[in-house]
Structure 1
Protein backbone atom coordinates (compact mmCIF):
# COMPACT_ATOMS: atom_id res chain seq x y z
CA UNK A 1 0.00 0.00 0.00
CA UNK A 2 2.91 2.36 0.65
CA UNK A 3 4.00 1.92 -2.97
CA UNK A 4 0.48 2.76 -4.14
CA UNK A 5 0.49 5.92 -2.03
CA UNK A 6 3.85 7.08 -3.39
CA UNK A 7 2.77 6.38 -6.97
CA UNK A 8 -0.46 8.38 -6.62
CA UNK A 9 1.39 11.32 -5.08
CA UNK A 10 3.62 11.64 -8.15
CA UNK A 11 0.75 11.85 -10.66
CA UNK A 12 0.22 15.26 -12.34
CA UNK A 13 -2.94 17.06 -11.14
CA UNK A 14 -4.44 16.80 -14.66
CA UNK A 15 -4.17 13.01 -14.51
CA UNK A 16 -5.75 12.92 -11.07
CA UNK A 17 -8.63 15.06 -12.34
CA UNK A 18 -9.07 12.85 -15.41
CA UNK A 19 -9.23 9.67 -13.34
CA UNK A 20 -11.66 11.30 -10.89
CA UNK A 21 -13.95 12.25 -13.78
CA UNK A 22 -13.87 8.65 -15.00
CA UNK A 23 -14.90 7.55 -11.52
CA UNK A 24 -18.08 9.59 -11.81
CA UNK A 25 -19.05 7.72 -14.97
CA UNK A 26 -17.77 4.20 -14.23
CA UNK A 27 -18.48 2.46 -10.90
CA UNK A 28 -15.52 0.08 -11.28
CA UNK A 29 -13.13 3.01 -11.69
CA UNK A 30 -14.70 4.67 -8.65
CA UNK A 31 -14.15 1.49 -6.64
CA UNK A 32 -10.47 1.41 -7.65
CA UNK A 33 -10.09 5.08 -6.69
CA UNK A 34 -11.56 4.39 -3.24
CA UNK A 35 -9.23 1.42 -2.76
CA UNK A 36 -6.20 3.49 -3.78
CA UNK A 37 -7.26 6.29 -1.45
CA UNK A 38 -7.27 3.99 1.56
CA UNK A 39 -3.50 3.67 1.21
CA UNK A 40 -3.28 7.24 2.54
CA UNK A 41 -5.70 6.88 5.45
CA UNK A 42 -4.32 7.09 8.99
CA UNK A 43 -0.78 7.46 7.67
CA UNK A 44 1.67 10.30 8.22
CA UNK A 45 2.25 11.82 4.79
CA UNK A 46 4.02 14.75 3.13
CA UNK A 47 1.74 17.02 1.08
CA UNK A 48 2.78 16.61 -2.54
CA UNK A 49 2.00 19.98 -4.14
CA UNK A 50 0.24 23.30 -3.80
CA UNK A 51 0.40 26.01 -1.14
CA UNK A 52 0.92 23.42 1.61
CA UNK A 53 3.61 21.45 -0.27
CA UNK A 54 6.15 19.82 2.02
CA UNK A 55 4.06 19.99 5.19
CA UNK A 56 3.26 16.86 7.18
CA UNK A 57 -0.33 15.69 7.41
CA UNK A 58 -2.30 12.72 8.67
CA UNK A 59 -5.80 12.86 7.21
CA UNK A 60 -7.29 10.09 9.34
CA UNK A 61 -10.15 8.92 7.15
CA UNK A 62 -10.64 12.29 5.44
CA UNK A 63 -10.17 13.45 1.86
CA UNK A 64 -7.03 12.14 0.09
CA UNK A 65 -6.85 15.38 -1.90
CA UNK A 66 -5.30 16.90 1.21
CA UNK A 67 -2.28 14.61 0.81
CA UNK A 68 -2.09 15.15 -2.94
CA UNK A 69 -2.41 18.91 -2.49
CA UNK A 70 -5.18 19.02 -5.10
CA UNK A 71 -8.02 20.11 -2.81
CA UNK A 72 -9.58 23.51 -3.58
CA UNK A 73 -6.67 24.90 -5.62
CA UNK A 74 -8.41 28.25 -5.98
CA UNK A 75 -8.64 28.61 -2.19
CA UNK A 76 -4.98 27.67 -1.88
CA UNK A 77 -4.13 30.35 -4.44
CA UNK A 78 -6.24 32.91 -2.56
CA UNK A 79 -4.49 32.14 0.72
CA UNK A 80 -1.14 32.42 -1.03
CA UNK A 81 -2.17 35.86 -2.29
CA UNK A 82 -3.78 37.19 0.89
CA UNK A 83 -1.77 35.88 3.83
CA UNK A 84 1.12 37.82 5.31
CA UNK A 85 3.28 37.29 8.41
CA UNK A 86 1.54 38.44 11.57
CA UNK A 87 -2.05 37.94 10.37
CA UNK A 88 -4.66 36.16 12.47
CA UNK A 89 -6.79 33.63 10.55
CA UNK A 90 -10.04 31.95 11.60
CA UNK A 91 -10.71 28.62 9.85
CA UNK A 92 -14.40 27.79 10.36
CA UNK A 93 -15.14 24.16 9.48
CA UNK A 94 -11.45 23.25 9.52
CA UNK A 95 -11.87 19.47 9.07
CA UNK A 96 -8.39 17.94 9.70
CA UNK A 97 -6.51 21.21 9.26
CA UNK A 98 -5.20 21.15 5.69
CA UNK A 99 -5.73 24.88 5.11
CA UNK A 100 -4.89 25.68 8.74
CA UNK A 101 -1.37 24.26 8.60
CA UNK A 102 -0.64 25.99 5.29
CA UNK A 103 -1.81 29.29 6.79
CA UNK A 104 0.18 28.69 9.97
CA UNK A 105 3.39 28.38 8.00
CA UNK A 106 2.78 31.62 6.10
CA UNK A 107 1.70 33.84 9.01
CA UNK A 108 4.57 32.79 11.27
CA UNK A 109 4.93 31.73 14.91
CA UNK A 110 3.95 35.09 16.40
CA UNK A 111 0.52 35.04 14.72
CA UNK A 112 -2.35 32.58 15.12
CA UNK A 113 -4.72 30.32 13.21
CA UNK A 114 -7.90 29.63 15.18
CA UNK A 115 -9.70 26.51 13.95
CA UNK A 116 -13.40 25.91 14.65
CA UNK A 117 -14.38 22.29 14.14
CA UNK A 118 -17.59 20.60 15.23
CA UNK A 119 -16.37 16.98 15.41
CA UNK A 120 -13.96 16.07 18.24
CA UNK A 121 -12.25 13.45 16.05
CA UNK A 122 -11.36 16.07 13.44
CA UNK A 123 -10.30 18.54 16.13
CA UNK A 124 -7.84 15.99 17.51
CA UNK A 125 -6.50 15.42 14.00
CA UNK A 126 -5.87 19.17 13.61
CA UNK A 127 -3.91 19.18 16.86
CA UNK A 128 -1.93 16.14 15.70
CA UNK A 129 -1.08 17.78 12.37
CA UNK A 130 -0.07 21.01 14.08
CA UNK A 131 2.24 19.10 16.41
CA UNK A 132 3.71 17.07 13.51
CA UNK A 133 4.80 20.32 11.89
CA UNK A 134 5.92 21.83 15.22
CA UNK A 135 3.39 24.63 14.83
CA UNK A 136 2.51 26.27 18.12
CA UNK A 137 0.39 28.96 16.48
CA UNK A 138 -2.72 26.82 15.84
CA UNK A 139 -5.57 26.94 18.37
CA UNK A 140 -8.47 24.50 18.05
CA UNK A 141 -11.96 25.29 19.37
CA UNK A 142 -14.14 22.18 19.27
CA UNK A 143 -17.56 23.55 18.45
CA UNK A 144 -19.96 24.13 15.59
CA UNK A 145 -20.76 27.77 14.93
CA UNK A 146 -24.20 29.24 14.29
CA UNK A 147 -26.56 31.98 15.41
CA UNK A 148 -27.46 30.48 18.80
CA UNK A 149 -25.89 28.77 21.81
CA UNK A 150 -26.40 25.24 23.08
CA UNK A 151 -26.33 21.76 21.60
CA UNK A 152 -27.21 20.75 18.05
CA UNK A 153 -27.70 17.64 15.96
CA UNK A 154 -24.93 17.04 13.43
CA UNK A 155 -25.20 14.64 10.49
CA UNK A 156 -21.98 12.83 9.65
CA UNK A 157 -21.14 11.30 6.29
CA UNK A 158 -18.93 8.44 5.14
CA UNK A 159 -17.28 11.20 3.09
CA UNK A 160 -15.84 13.12 6.09
CA UNK A 161 -15.85 16.56 4.46
CA UNK A 162 -19.63 16.48 3.91
CA UNK A 163 -20.81 16.48 7.53
CA UNK A 164 -23.29 19.23 8.41
CA UNK A 165 -25.67 20.54 11.05
CA UNK A 166 -29.09 18.91 10.85
CA UNK A 167 -30.67 22.38 10.89
CA UNK A 168 -29.55 22.79 7.26
CA UNK A 169 -32.46 20.51 6.40
CA UNK A 170 -31.09 17.88 4.02
CA UNK A 171 -28.95 14.91 4.98
CA UNK A 172 -25.52 14.75 3.34
CA UNK A 173 -24.76 12.22 0.64
CA UNK A 174 -23.39 8.99 2.11
CA UNK A 175 -25.11 9.77 5.43
CA UNK A 176 -23.55 7.85 8.32
CA UNK A 177 -25.14 8.84 11.64
CA UNK A 178 -26.42 11.70 13.77
CA UNK A 179 -24.37 12.97 16.69
CA UNK A 180 -24.74 15.83 19.14
CA UNK A 181 -22.25 18.72 18.99
CA UNK A 182 -21.69 21.94 20.87
CA UNK A 183 -23.09 25.04 19.14
CA UNK A 184 -21.75 28.57 19.73
CA UNK A 185 -21.94 32.04 18.23
CA UNK A 186 -18.59 33.27 16.95
CA UNK A 187 -19.13 36.61 18.68
CA UNK A 188 -19.52 34.86 22.04
CA UNK A 189 -16.44 32.69 21.56
CA UNK A 190 -14.28 35.65 20.50
CA UNK A 191 -15.28 37.58 23.62
CA UNK A 192 -15.09 34.61 25.99
CA UNK A 193 -11.68 33.35 24.84
CA UNK A 194 -10.34 36.84 24.11
CA UNK A 195 -9.28 35.72 20.64
CA UNK A 196 -7.11 38.03 18.56
CA UNK A 197 -8.94 40.01 15.89
CA UNK A 198 -9.14 38.15 12.56
CA UNK A 199 -7.62 39.56 9.38
CA UNK A 200 -9.06 36.69 7.31
CA UNK A 201 -11.86 34.18 7.86
CA UNK A 202 -12.17 31.04 5.75
CA UNK A 203 -15.50 29.24 6.05
CA UNK A 204 -16.76 25.84 4.86
CA UNK A 205 -19.86 24.84 6.82
CA UNK A 206 -21.95 22.86 4.32
CA UNK A 207 -25.02 25.05 4.17
CA UNK A 208 -24.92 26.85 7.54
CA UNK A 209 -23.25 29.95 6.09
CA UNK A 210 -25.95 32.48 7.00
CA UNK A 211 -26.40 31.19 10.55
CA UNK A 212 -22.63 31.45 11.09
CA UNK A 213 -22.56 34.97 9.63
CA UNK A 214 -25.48 36.03 11.83
CA UNK A 215 -23.62 34.77 14.89
CA UNK A 216 -20.47 36.58 13.75
CA UNK A 217 -22.04 39.95 12.91
CA UNK A 218 -20.35 41.84 15.77
CA UNK A 219 -16.93 40.38 14.89
CA UNK A 220 -17.34 41.22 11.21
CA UNK A 221 -18.50 44.77 11.85
CA UNK A 222 -15.79 45.42 14.43
CA UNK A 223 -12.74 43.93 12.66
CA UNK A 224 -13.75 43.86 8.94
CA UNK A 225 -11.77 40.70 8.02
CA UNK A 226 -11.46 39.50 4.44
CA UNK A 227 -13.79 36.51 3.93
CA UNK A 228 -13.50 33.32 1.87
CA UNK A 229 -16.78 31.39 2.05
CA UNK A 230 -17.81 28.22 0.24
CA UNK A 231 -21.48 28.60 -0.66
CA UNK A 232 -23.91 25.68 -0.72
CA UNK A 233 -26.78 27.10 -2.71
CA UNK A 234 -26.56 30.16 -0.45
CA UNK A 235 -24.90 32.53 -2.93
CA UNK A 236 -27.59 35.22 -2.92
CA UNK A 237 -28.12 35.06 0.83
CA UNK A 238 -24.38 35.45 1.50
CA UNK A 239 -24.18 38.41 -0.86
CA UNK A 240 -27.22 40.12 0.65
CA UNK A 241 -25.93 39.71 4.20
CA UNK A 242 -22.43 40.98 3.46
CA UNK A 243 -23.49 43.91 1.30
CA UNK A 244 -25.85 45.02 4.08
CA UNK A 245 -22.92 45.34 6.51
CA UNK A 246 -20.67 47.16 4.06
CA UNK A 247 -18.74 44.42 2.27
CA UNK A 248 -17.95 44.20 -1.41
CA UNK A 249 -18.60 40.66 -2.68
CA UNK A 250 -17.33 38.60 -5.61
CA UNK A 251 -16.71 35.07 -6.89
CA UNK A 252 -13.28 33.55 -6.49
CA UNK A 253 -11.68 33.05 -9.90
CA UNK A 254 -14.71 34.34 -11.86
CA UNK A 255 -15.74 37.73 -13.18
CA UNK A 256 -19.46 37.00 -12.85
CA UNK A 257 -22.28 38.10 -10.53
CA UNK A 258 -22.48 36.13 -7.28
CA UNK A 259 -26.06 35.11 -8.04
CA UNK A 260 -24.94 33.50 -11.32
CA UNK A 261 -22.12 31.45 -9.75
CA UNK A 262 -22.22 27.68 -9.34
CA UNK A 263 -24.08 26.48 -6.23
CA UNK A 264 -20.87 25.67 -4.31
CA UNK A 265 -18.74 28.55 -5.59
CA UNK A 266 -16.28 30.25 -3.28
CA UNK A 267 -17.53 33.72 -2.42
CA UNK A 268 -15.17 36.40 -1.12
CA UNK A 269 -15.96 39.51 0.84
CA UNK A 270 -13.73 42.56 1.19
CA UNK A 271 -14.01 45.55 3.49
CA UNK A 272 -10.98 47.82 3.07
CA UNK A 273 -10.09 51.28 1.83
CA UNK A 274 -11.32 51.70 -1.77
CA UNK A 275 -7.92 51.54 -3.51
CA UNK A 276 -6.77 48.49 -1.59
CA UNK A 277 -10.18 46.81 -1.90
CA UNK A 278 -10.15 47.15 -5.70
CA UNK A 279 -6.67 45.65 -5.91
CA UNK A 280 -7.70 42.65 -3.78
CA UNK A 281 -11.01 42.28 -5.63
CA UNK A 282 -9.35 42.15 -9.03
CA UNK A 283 -6.71 39.71 -7.80
CA UNK A 284 -9.23 37.28 -6.32
CA UNK A 285 -11.44 37.35 -9.41
CA UNK A 286 -8.47 36.58 -11.65
CA UNK A 287 -7.21 33.56 -9.68
CA UNK A 288 -6.80 30.46 -11.82
CA UNK A 289 -7.22 27.05 -10.20
Structure 2
Protein backbone atom coordinates (compact mmCIF):
# COMPACT_ATOMS: atom_id res chain seq x y z
CA UNK A 1 0.00 0.00 0.00
CA UNK A 2 1.30 3.45 -0.90
CA UNK A 3 1.61 5.83 2.08
CA UNK A 4 -0.55 8.95 2.17
CA UNK A 5 0.97 12.40 1.60
CA UNK A 6 2.07 14.05 4.83
CA UNK A 7 -0.94 16.34 4.91
CA UNK A 8 -3.26 13.31 4.86
CA UNK A 9 -1.74 12.05 8.11
CA UNK A 10 -4.09 13.48 10.73
CA UNK A 11 -1.94 12.20 13.58
CA UNK A 12 1.12 13.94 12.17
CA UNK A 13 -0.78 17.21 11.69
CA UNK A 14 -1.76 17.20 15.36
CA UNK A 15 1.91 17.06 16.37
CA UNK A 16 2.98 20.02 14.22
CA UNK A 17 3.10 23.73 15.10
CA UNK A 18 -0.13 25.59 14.37
CA UNK A 19 1.08 27.31 11.20
CA UNK A 20 2.19 23.99 9.70
CA UNK A 21 -1.01 22.25 10.75
CA UNK A 22 -3.06 24.99 9.06
CA UNK A 23 -0.98 24.71 5.89
CA UNK A 24 -1.30 20.92 5.86
CA UNK A 25 -5.05 21.08 6.51
CA UNK A 26 -5.45 23.52 3.60
CA UNK A 27 -3.56 21.18 1.26
CA UNK A 28 -5.62 18.25 2.47
CA UNK A 29 -8.82 20.08 1.57
CA UNK A 30 -7.76 21.79 -1.66
CA UNK A 31 -5.32 19.41 -3.37
CA UNK A 32 -6.24 18.19 -6.84
CA UNK A 33 -5.66 14.40 -6.81
CA UNK A 34 -4.69 14.39 -10.48
CA UNK A 35 -2.24 17.29 -10.57
CA UNK A 36 -1.23 17.19 -6.87
CA UNK A 37 -1.53 20.99 -6.88
CA UNK A 38 -3.63 23.11 -4.56
CA UNK A 39 -5.12 26.39 -5.67
CA UNK A 40 -3.45 29.12 -3.64
CA UNK A 41 -0.99 26.64 -2.14
CA UNK A 42 2.13 28.55 -3.24
CA UNK A 43 0.73 31.82 -1.88
CA UNK A 44 -0.06 30.23 1.47
CA UNK A 45 3.43 28.64 1.61
CA UNK A 46 5.05 32.05 1.10
CA UNK A 47 2.86 33.60 3.81
CA UNK A 48 3.78 30.78 6.18
CA UNK A 49 7.46 31.37 5.49
CA UNK A 50 6.97 35.10 6.07
CA UNK A 51 5.39 34.27 9.42
CA UNK A 52 8.40 32.16 10.37
CA UNK A 53 10.74 35.05 9.53
CA UNK A 54 8.69 37.84 11.12
CA UNK A 55 7.81 36.00 14.33
CA UNK A 56 11.18 34.32 14.69
CA UNK A 57 9.55 30.88 14.65
CA UNK A 58 11.77 27.78 14.26
CA UNK A 59 12.66 27.20 10.63
CA UNK A 60 13.62 23.57 11.21
CA UNK A 61 11.05 20.81 11.61
CA UNK A 62 11.16 17.03 11.91
CA UNK A 63 8.59 14.98 9.99
CA UNK A 64 7.86 11.28 10.25
CA UNK A 65 7.20 9.93 6.76
CA UNK A 66 6.66 6.24 6.01
CA UNK A 67 8.63 5.18 9.07
CA UNK A 68 11.54 7.58 8.56
CA UNK A 69 12.26 10.81 10.44
CA UNK A 70 13.57 13.67 8.33
CA UNK A 71 14.68 17.11 9.49
CA UNK A 72 13.89 19.88 7.00
CA UNK A 73 14.34 23.62 6.53
CA UNK A 74 10.88 25.19 6.20
CA UNK A 75 12.33 28.30 4.52
CA UNK A 76 13.62 26.13 1.68
CA UNK A 77 10.86 25.15 -0.76
CA UNK A 78 12.75 21.92 -1.40
CA UNK A 79 11.29 20.45 1.84
CA UNK A 80 8.00 19.65 0.10
CA UNK A 81 9.83 17.56 -2.50
CA UNK A 82 11.73 15.76 0.26
CA UNK A 83 8.55 14.54 1.91
CA UNK A 84 7.26 13.25 -1.41
CA UNK A 85 10.53 11.48 -2.18
CA UNK A 86 10.44 9.68 1.16
CA UNK A 87 7.07 8.20 0.29
CA UNK A 88 8.91 5.96 -2.16
CA UNK A 89 6.64 6.49 -5.16
CA UNK A 90 9.20 8.04 -7.49
CA UNK A 91 11.35 6.19 -9.98
CA UNK A 92 14.52 7.11 -8.07
CA UNK A 93 13.22 5.56 -4.85
CA UNK A 94 12.13 2.45 -6.72
CA UNK A 95 15.59 2.14 -8.28
CA UNK A 96 17.12 2.23 -4.80
CA UNK A 97 14.69 -0.46 -3.68
CA UNK A 98 15.55 -2.73 -6.63
CA UNK A 99 19.30 -2.16 -6.68
CA UNK A 100 20.28 -2.23 -3.03
CA UNK A 101 19.97 -4.88 -0.36
CA UNK A 102 21.41 -5.59 3.08
CA UNK A 103 25.12 -4.85 3.22
CA UNK A 104 25.01 -2.67 0.11
CA UNK A 105 26.59 0.70 -0.54
CA UNK A 106 25.28 3.99 -1.92
CA UNK A 107 26.91 7.33 -2.65
CA UNK A 108 24.51 10.29 -2.65
CA UNK A 109 26.39 13.09 -4.42
CA UNK A 110 24.36 16.25 -4.08
CA UNK A 111 22.30 14.88 -1.20
CA UNK A 112 20.38 18.05 -0.29
CA UNK A 113 18.10 17.14 2.67
CA UNK A 114 19.05 13.49 2.13
CA UNK A 115 15.79 11.76 1.26
CA UNK A 116 17.60 9.20 -0.90
CA UNK A 117 20.34 8.82 1.70
CA UNK A 118 17.67 7.81 4.21
CA UNK A 119 15.90 5.44 1.81
CA UNK A 120 19.22 3.79 0.97
CA UNK A 121 20.20 3.60 4.64
CA UNK A 122 17.04 1.72 5.44
CA UNK A 123 17.58 -0.59 2.48
CA UNK A 124 21.25 -1.50 3.16
CA UNK A 125 20.76 -1.84 6.93
CA UNK A 126 23.40 -1.66 9.65
CA UNK A 127 25.86 -3.81 7.70
CA UNK A 128 25.77 -1.49 4.70
CA UNK A 129 27.22 1.91 4.00
CA UNK A 130 25.74 5.17 2.74
CA UNK A 131 28.00 8.16 2.00
CA UNK A 132 26.36 11.54 1.36
CA UNK A 133 28.00 14.66 -0.06
CA UNK A 134 26.31 18.00 0.59
CA UNK A 135 28.23 21.31 0.63
CA UNK A 136 25.46 23.46 2.15
CA UNK A 137 26.20 23.56 5.90
CA UNK A 138 22.58 23.80 7.05
CA UNK A 139 21.48 20.86 4.92
CA UNK A 140 24.50 18.77 5.90
CA UNK A 141 23.67 19.37 9.58
CA UNK A 142 19.99 18.51 9.07
CA UNK A 143 20.97 15.30 7.28
CA UNK A 144 23.24 14.29 10.15
CA UNK A 145 20.30 14.89 12.49
CA UNK A 146 18.07 12.74 10.29
CA UNK A 147 20.58 9.89 10.27
CA UNK A 148 20.88 10.09 14.05
CA UNK A 149 17.11 10.21 14.52
CA UNK A 150 16.80 7.00 12.51
CA UNK A 151 19.71 5.27 14.24
CA UNK A 152 21.57 4.98 10.94
CA UNK A 153 25.20 4.69 11.98
CA UNK A 154 25.92 3.32 8.51
CA UNK A 155 25.45 6.85 7.13
CA UNK A 156 28.25 9.42 6.72
CA UNK A 157 27.88 13.04 5.58
CA UNK A 158 30.72 14.95 3.90
CA UNK A 159 30.08 18.69 3.98
CA UNK A 160 31.73 19.49 0.66
CA UNK A 161 31.39 19.47 -3.10
CA UNK A 162 33.14 17.02 -5.39
CA UNK A 163 35.31 18.14 -8.28
CA UNK A 164 38.26 17.36 -10.51
CA UNK A 165 40.68 19.23 -8.25
CA UNK A 166 40.68 19.75 -4.49
CA UNK A 167 40.40 23.28 -3.16
CA UNK A 168 37.67 25.79 -2.37
CA UNK A 169 34.97 27.42 -4.46
CA UNK A 170 31.93 29.67 -4.26
CA UNK A 171 28.61 27.88 -3.98
CA UNK A 172 25.40 29.62 -5.11
CA UNK A 173 22.01 28.90 -3.49
CA UNK A 174 18.94 30.26 -5.33
CA UNK A 175 16.27 31.87 -3.17
CA UNK A 176 13.67 29.72 -4.96
CA UNK A 177 15.09 26.57 -3.41
CA UNK A 178 18.31 24.77 -2.56
CA UNK A 179 17.74 22.04 -5.14
CA UNK A 180 19.29 24.18 -7.89
CA UNK A 181 22.27 25.23 -5.81
CA UNK A 182 25.68 24.65 -7.34
CA UNK A 183 29.18 25.88 -8.11
CA UNK A 184 28.31 27.63 -11.37
CA UNK A 185 26.84 31.12 -11.25
CA UNK A 186 25.48 31.01 -14.79
CA UNK A 187 23.07 28.27 -13.67
CA UNK A 188 22.58 28.69 -9.91
CA UNK A 189 22.78 32.48 -9.50
CA UNK A 190 20.39 33.82 -12.13
CA UNK A 191 17.95 35.35 -9.63
CA UNK A 192 18.12 36.21 -5.93
CA UNK A 193 20.61 33.93 -4.26
CA UNK A 194 23.03 33.43 -1.42
CA UNK A 195 26.66 32.54 -1.83
CA UNK A 196 29.14 30.82 0.43
CA UNK A 197 32.62 29.39 0.25
CA UNK A 198 32.74 25.60 0.30
CA UNK A 199 35.40 22.95 0.29
CA UNK A 200 35.89 20.96 -2.92
CA UNK A 201 37.45 17.48 -2.79
CA UNK A 202 38.23 14.66 -5.19
CA UNK A 203 36.20 11.49 -4.72
CA UNK A 204 39.32 9.37 -5.21
CA UNK A 205 40.92 11.02 -2.18
CA UNK A 206 37.90 10.36 0.02
CA UNK A 207 37.28 6.78 -1.11
CA UNK A 208 40.60 5.05 -1.76
CA UNK A 209 38.97 1.72 -2.71
CA UNK A 210 36.71 1.27 -5.76
CA UNK A 211 32.98 1.16 -5.13
CA UNK A 212 31.63 -2.38 -5.68
CA UNK A 213 29.68 -3.05 -8.85
CA UNK A 214 27.12 -5.32 -7.21
CA UNK A 215 24.71 -4.21 -4.50
CA UNK A 216 25.82 -0.61 -4.97
CA UNK A 217 24.51 2.61 -6.47
CA UNK A 218 25.96 6.06 -7.07
CA UNK A 219 23.49 8.95 -7.38
CA UNK A 220 24.99 12.13 -8.83
CA UNK A 221 22.99 15.35 -9.06
CA UNK A 222 25.23 18.41 -8.69
CA UNK A 223 23.86 21.01 -11.12
CA UNK A 224 26.62 21.06 -13.70
CA UNK A 225 29.34 19.67 -11.45
CA UNK A 226 28.93 16.10 -12.69
CA UNK A 227 31.84 16.16 -15.15
CA UNK A 228 34.30 17.40 -12.55
CA UNK A 229 33.04 14.90 -9.98
CA UNK A 230 33.51 12.05 -12.47
CA UNK A 231 37.03 13.16 -13.39
CA UNK A 232 37.95 13.33 -9.73
CA UNK A 233 36.53 9.87 -9.09
CA UNK A 234 37.83 7.68 -11.90
CA UNK A 235 39.46 5.19 -9.53
CA UNK A 236 36.49 5.07 -7.15
CA UNK A 237 34.17 4.35 -10.09
CA UNK A 238 36.53 1.94 -11.86
CA UNK A 239 34.44 -1.12 -10.89
CA UNK A 240 31.54 0.56 -12.74
CA UNK A 241 28.74 0.59 -10.15
CA UNK A 242 25.32 1.67 -11.50
CA UNK A 243 25.22 5.44 -11.74
CA UNK A 244 22.01 7.48 -11.41
CA UNK A 245 22.87 10.69 -13.24
CA UNK A 246 21.04 13.91 -14.06
CA UNK A 247 21.38 15.13 -17.66
CA UNK A 248 20.98 18.91 -17.69
CA UNK A 249 22.32 20.66 -20.78
CA UNK A 250 21.80 24.14 -19.31
CA UNK A 251 23.78 23.28 -16.17
CA UNK A 252 26.56 21.63 -18.20
CA UNK A 253 26.87 24.74 -20.41
CA UNK A 254 27.00 26.96 -17.32
CA UNK A 255 29.90 24.83 -16.09
CA UNK A 256 31.78 25.39 -19.35
CA UNK A 257 31.25 21.87 -20.65
CA UNK A 258 28.57 19.87 -22.47
CA UNK A 259 26.59 16.68 -22.11
CA UNK A 260 28.65 15.22 -24.96
CA UNK A 261 31.79 15.71 -22.84
CA UNK A 262 30.00 14.11 -19.91
CA UNK A 263 29.15 11.08 -22.06
CA UNK A 264 32.77 10.88 -23.29
CA UNK A 265 34.02 10.89 -19.70
CA UNK A 266 31.66 8.07 -18.75
CA UNK A 267 33.03 6.03 -21.65
CA UNK A 268 36.59 6.83 -20.59
CA UNK A 269 35.85 5.42 -17.14
CA UNK A 270 34.48 2.29 -18.79
CA UNK A 271 30.70 2.66 -18.87
CA UNK A 272 29.10 1.32 -22.04
CA UNK A 273 25.33 1.20 -21.48
CA UNK A 274 22.52 3.35 -20.18
CA UNK A 275 18.81 3.15 -19.51
CA UNK A 276 16.02 5.61 -19.00
CA UNK A 277 15.03 5.84 -15.37
CA UNK A 278 11.46 5.04 -16.33
CA UNK A 279 12.64 1.69 -17.80
CA UNK A 280 15.95 0.79 -16.11
CA UNK A 281 15.85 -2.84 -17.27
CA UNK A 282 16.02 -1.83 -20.96
CA UNK A 283 19.59 -0.73 -21.59
CA UNK A 284 20.93 0.88 -24.74
CA UNK A 285 24.46 1.70 -25.91
CA UNK A 286 25.78 4.72 -24.06
CA UNK A 287 27.23 6.04 -27.32
CA UNK A 288 23.72 6.58 -28.69
CA UNK A 289 22.29 8.16 -25.54
CA UNK A 290 20.01 11.09 -26.49
CA UNK A 291 21.25 14.17 -24.65
CA UNK A 292 17.88 15.92 -24.48
CA UNK A 293 15.60 16.62 -22.68
CA UNK A 294 16.39 17.27 -19.01
CA UNK A 295 16.04 13.95 -17.15
CA UNK A 296 17.71 11.33 -14.98
CA UNK A 297 19.25 8.23 -16.52
CA UNK A 298 20.92 5.08 -15.22
CA UNK A 299 24.45 4.47 -16.56
CA UNK A 300 25.68 0.87 -16.54
CA UNK A 301 28.80 -1.15 -17.26
Query: Which TM-score band (shorter chain)?
Result: 0.7 to 0.9
Quote the residue 1:253 is aligned against. 278
- Cα distance, 1:238–1:6 mapped onto 2, change above 3 Å: same
Question: Larger % of helix: which?
Answer: 1
Report whether the alignment pairs 1:206 with 2:237: no
SS at match of 1:94: coil
The CA deviation at 1:219 is: 1.2
Per the alignment, residue 190 of structure 1 pairs with 207
Structure 2 CA distance for aligned equivalents of residues 32 and 119 of structure 1: 26
Asked if 1 retains the 8 angstrom alpha-carbon contact of 2:210 and 2:236, the reply is no
Q: Gaps (5+ residues) in structure 2?
A: 1-18, 53-57, 253-258
Count matched residues.
255
- Kept after mapping to 1: 8 A contact 2:220/2:244: yes
Judged with a 3 Å threshold, the aligned counterparts in structure 2 of structure 1 residues 188 and 260 are, in CA distance, closer, same or farther, namely closer
152, 155, 164: which one aligns with 1:138: 155
Q: Secondary structure at the match of 1:126?
A: helix
Query: Aligned residue for 1:87?
Result: 104
For structure 1, the residue ranges without an aligned partner over 5 or more in a row are 23-27, 48-52, 272-289
Alignment of 1:98-247 (within 5 A): 98-158=115-175, 159-166=177-184, 169-191=186-208, 197=212, 199-221=216-238, 223-233=239-249, 234=252, 235-247=259-271
1:54-73 equivalences in 2 (<5 Å): 54-61=67-74, 62=76, 63=78, 64-69=80-85, 73=90
* Rg larger for: 2
Taking the aligned partners of 2:140 and 2:126, their CA distance within structure 1 comes to 20
The alignment's TM-score, normalised by the length of structure 1, stands at 0.77
Contact conserved, 2:96 with 2:217, CA < 8 A, in 1?
no
Matches within 5 A, 1:13-24: 15=33, 17-19=35-37
Shift, 1:157, TM fit: 1.7
**C-alpha distance in 2 between matches for 1:171 and 1:261:** 20
One of 23, 28, 42 as aligned partner of 2:60: 42
Q: Contact (CA 8 Å) 2:23, 2:45: kept in 1 or not? A: no
